Structure 1
Amino acid sequence: MHPVIPYLIAALLFGVGCYGLLVRRNAVLLLMSLELMLNAVNLILVTADTSVVGVPRSGQVFALFVIVLAAAEVGVGLAVVLRFFRLRGSVDTDLLDTRRAGPGPAPKAPAAGTAADPETAAVTAADTDAGEAR
């Protein structure tokens, strides 16, 4: 068998994984797309190991390391997805809010007329300056 066929299959798998990683919004499907990409890398490593003659066989060892890495990624990734589901009730990554630090309540917007509002802060500062000048 020519080594071109597994390389083409690996390129197809990697392309489908990249497409899924860029398009999908579900966190579980993102993990599945990442697994497809890792499997494409494993296919390339094993194909290169069997097709290249005269070099030490190390592609299978690297593929084993990638499999271990993928298992660890699944464990940590699913733990993050489960925590995300418990907090938000959905695994849609559009709901991910990176501005909040923890699971507490969302920060409240400052009320109108406070110093955090730039328009009213300028008016109140001008009023106090005018009041001090009198």
Structure 2
Amino acid sequence: MLDILEQVGINNYIYLSTLLFCVGVLGILYRRSTIVMLMSVELMLAAANLLLAVFSVYHQDVSGQVFVIFAMAVAAAEVAVGLAILVSIYRNIGSIDIDKLKNLKG
């Protein structure tokens, strides 16, 4: 695995991770759909996981890769809960537009 990292170079992985994170931030800032915002958060988390995995391989430490696997499992559970909440909101309000969600009362 270290051979592949040496061929591509760690800088390219850092650039890719930064690009993915920035795309996620732009998706949150410029989109009003809650599903797209949820996907953007997951993209940002994937960028952080990629960077953590690359540094783990670079330093030849397995604990970072194990942490990435656990983070991916938590992210999958997060998506399931987030989509369930969005389905519930859609059933009650009829829309998942973020501007209409600001008027919710607790």
For the superposition of Structure 1 and Structure 2, which TM-score range results when normalised by the shorter chain? Answer: 0.7 to 0.9
Counterpart Cα distance in 1 of 2:102 and 2:59: 48
User: Counterpart in 2 of 1:111?
Assistant: none
Give me the whole-angstrom Cα distance separating, in 1, the residues matched to 2:77 and 2:104. Answer: 27
Letter in 1 for 2:101: L
Aligned length: 99
User: Alpha carbon RMSD of aligned pairs, Å?
Assistant: 1.3
Structure 1 counterpart of 2:15: 8
| TM-score, length of structure 2 as denominator length | 0.86
Structure 1 residue ranges (4+ consecutive) displaced by more than 6 angstroms after TM superposition: none
> What CA distance in whole angstroms lies between the structure 1 residues aligned with 2:29 and 2:97?
14
Deviations 1:3-45 (A, max 9, x none): 0101100000000001111221111101110110111011101
SS in 2 for 1:21: helix
Inter-partner Cα distance in structure 1 for 2:28 and 2:49: 18
Q: C-alpha separation between the residues in 2 aligned to 1:69 and 1:99?
A: 27
Show the 5 A alignment for 1:39-58: 39-53=46-60, 56-58=61-63
- 3-state SS of 1:58 partner: helix
Match of 2:77 in 1: 72
1:97 deviates by 3.5
| The structure with more radius of gyration | 1
Higher helix share: 2
TM-score scaled by length of structure 1:
0.69
